[in-house]
C-alpha cells in the first residue's frame, strides 16, 4: 500500500477543509437537523429531509464540491482517485449532511458524461448537478435480484419509442424521483439462447410517464425507502437511450464500479459512530462499559474498522498502479454490511433501555436514531449488491472454489 500524498493532494485537502470551515457551521445553523435521515425517513419527514439535502448539494455546487470527479467543463474538478478518497474521508470526519442526488452525482451523471450524446449531457447534467430533480437507478428485478444477466423487463422498439413491460424491485427513492436510469432487455431471445449478457440496454426514463406505477415498500423500520416499479406498455423515446442498443451491460459495469468502490469514507464514518455511542453510553448507561463482553465487542469493532480502512487503501494503491482492485471491492462491500449491523447491535446493548427508545418517546436519545439504526441496517445485506451474490463472486473468481 502507498500512503504517500502529493503536494497537489495536500493542497486539495487544505482547500476542502477551509471551505468546510467557512460554510458548514453556517449551513447547519440555517438548516437544523430534526432527526430524520432522508435515506430512510418515513413519508411524514422525508420531504423536509430531502429539501435539506437539496440545499446542501446546491451549497456544495457553488464551490464546485458536489461532483469533484466530473470534468471541469461539467462543474467538476477532475479529481484523481486519491483526491476522491481524501474528499470522502474529510466529509466523513466533518460529518457533513447527506446530498440530494447521490445516485445522480456518483453513478448516473458520470455515465451520461461517458455515454451520452451532447444533447443528453446538456439536458440532464445541469439538472443532476444542481439538484433540480431527484434521480433513481433501476437494475434489480424479482427474478434476477442483483444478477443483471437475468433481467426480464422488456423494451420492444416501436417506431421512435420503446414499449416497456415488466417489474423492478428494491429501487431506492423511486417514489420521489422524476428521472431514473433503468436497464431493460431489448433482445427477448437472449436469455433463452444463453446470451444473458447481451441484449441489455440502458434507458433514461421520465418517472411520470403513463404506464409506470411506483409502489413504496414499507420496511421493518416502518419507513419507505425502497420501491417496486411496474411498467405496463410505458413508452420511452429512443432518444432517451444511453449508449447504443445492447450496450447496457457496459454502462452498468461502470455504474456499479462507482457504487461499490465508493467506500473510502465509510471507515471514518463508522469510527465516528463508534466514538459517539461510547460517549453517549458514558452519560446514560455507564455500567455497560464495565461489562467485559461489551468491552471486547468495542475492541473488536475498532479493530475491524481499522482493517476496513486498510482494505480501502489497498484497493486505492492497486488503482494507482493501474491494477484491478480485485477482490478488495466485493470484500469491502461485505465489510460494510457486517460492520454496519455490528455497530447497530452494539449501540443498543451499550445504551441499554435508552437504546430502545424510538423517535417520539419522551426519553429518546439522539431523537431515537439508535433504535432506528438497529432495525434499518439490515438493508445493508442488500444495498450495493447482495451479500449472497458478493460471496458467490468471491468464491468463484477470487478463491476459485470448485463448482458442484
The Cα–Cα gap between 237 and 205 comes to: 9
The Cα–Cα gap between 192 and 153 comes to: 14
Cell of 334: 461485505
Task: Scan for cell 409502489, then name that residue.
Answer: 215
Q: Is there a contact between 263 and 309 (Cβ–Cβ < 8 Å)?
A: no
The closest of 82, 65, 86 to 129, measured between CA atoms, is 65
> Which residues does the annotation mark as catalytic?
259
The Cα–Cα gap between 153 and 168 comes to: 8
The Cα–Cα gap between 120 and 242 comes to: 8
Q: CA torsion 192→193→198→203, rounded to 10°?
A: -30
Task: Give CA separation, 368 vs 245, 342, 358, in Å.
Answer: 48, 18, 4
The closest of 57, 62, 68, 59 to 12, measured between CA atoms, is 68
Residues linked to residue 346 through DSSP beta bridges, in sequence order: none
Residues linked to residue 181 through DSSP beta bridges, in sequence order: 137, 204
**Quick one: which H or E segment has residue 229?**
strand 226-237
Q: Is there a contact between 66 and 126 (Cβ–Cβ < 8 Å)?
A: no
Task: Scan for cell 449488491, then name that residue.
Answer: 385
Contacts of 41 (CB under 8 A, 6+ apart): 49, 223
Cell of 394: 468471491
The per-residue b/e assignment along 121-146, b for 16 or more CB within 10 angstroms, e otherwise, is beebbebbbbbbbbbbbbbbbeebbb
Amino acid at each position: 500500500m502507498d500512503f504517500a500524498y502529493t503536494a497537489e493532494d495536500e493542497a486539495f485537502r487544505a482547500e476542502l477543509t477551509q471551505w468546510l470551515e467557512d460554510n458548514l457551521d453556517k449551513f447547519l445553523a440555517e438548516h437544523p437537523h430534526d432527526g430524520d435521515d432522508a435515506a430512510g425517513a418515513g413519508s411524514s419527514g422525508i420531504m423536509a429531509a430531502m429539501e435539506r439535502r437539496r440545499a446542501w448539494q446546491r451549497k456544495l455546487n457553488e464551490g464546485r464540491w458536489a461532483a469533484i470527479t466530473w470534468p471541469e467543463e461539467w462543474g467538476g474538478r477532475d479529481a484523481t482517485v486519491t483526491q476522491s478518497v481524501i474528499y470522502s474521508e474529510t466529509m466523513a470526519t466533518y460529518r457533513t449532511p447527506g446530498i440530494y442526488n447521490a445516485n445522480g452525482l456518483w453513478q448516473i451523471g458520470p455515465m451520461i458524461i461517458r455515454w451520452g450524446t451532447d444533447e443528453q449531457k446538456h439536458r440532464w447534467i445541469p439538472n443532476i448537478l444542481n439538484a433540480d430533480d431527484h434521480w433513481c437507478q433501476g437494475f434489480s428485478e424479482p427474478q434476477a435480484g442483483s444478477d443483471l444477466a437475468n433481467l426480464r423487463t422488456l423494451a420492444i422498439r416501436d417506431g421512435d419509442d420503446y414499449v416497456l413491460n415488466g417489474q423492478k424491485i428494491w429501487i431506492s427513492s423511486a417514489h420521489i424521483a422524476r428521472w431514473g436510469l433503468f436497464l431493460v432487455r431489448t433482445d427477448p431471445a437472449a436469455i433463452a439462447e444463453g446470451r444473458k449478457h447481451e441484449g441489455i440496454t440502458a434507458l433514461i426514463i421520465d418517472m411520470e410517464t403513463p404506464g409506470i406505477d411506483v409502489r413504496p415498500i414499507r420496511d421493518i423500520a416502518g419507513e419507505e425507502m425502497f420501491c417496486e416499479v411496474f411498467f405496463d406498455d410505458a413508452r420511452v423515446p429512443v432518444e432517451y437511450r444511453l449508449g447504443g442498443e445492447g450496450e447496457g451491460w457496459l454502462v452498468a459495469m461502470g455504474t456499479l464500479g462507482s457504487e461499490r468502490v465508493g467506500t473510502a469514507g465509510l471507515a471514518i464514518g463508522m469510527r465516528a459512530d463508534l466514538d459517539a455511542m461510547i460517549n453517549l453510553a458514558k452519560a446514560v448507561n455507564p455500567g455497560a462499559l464495565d461489562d467485559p463482553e461489551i468491552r471486547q465487542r468495542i475492541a473488536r469493532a475498532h479493530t475491524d474498522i481499522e482493517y476496513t480502512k486498510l482494505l480501502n487503501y489497498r484497493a486505492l494503491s492497486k488503482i494507482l498502479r493501474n491494477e484491478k482492485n480485485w477482490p478488495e471491492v466485493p470484500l469491502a462491500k461485505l465489510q460494510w454490511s457486517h460492520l454496519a449491523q455490528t455497530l447497530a447491535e452494539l449501540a443498543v446493548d451499550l445504551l441499554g433501555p435508552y437504546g430502545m427508545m424510538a423517535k417520539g418517546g419522551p426519553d429518546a436519545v439522539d431523537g431515537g436514531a439508535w433504535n432506528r439504526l438497529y432495525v434499518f441496517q439490515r438493508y445493508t445485506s442488500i444495498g450495493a449488491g447482495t451479500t449472497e451474490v458478493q460471496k458467490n463472486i468471491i468464491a468463484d473468481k477470487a478463491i476459485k472454489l470448485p463448482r458442484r
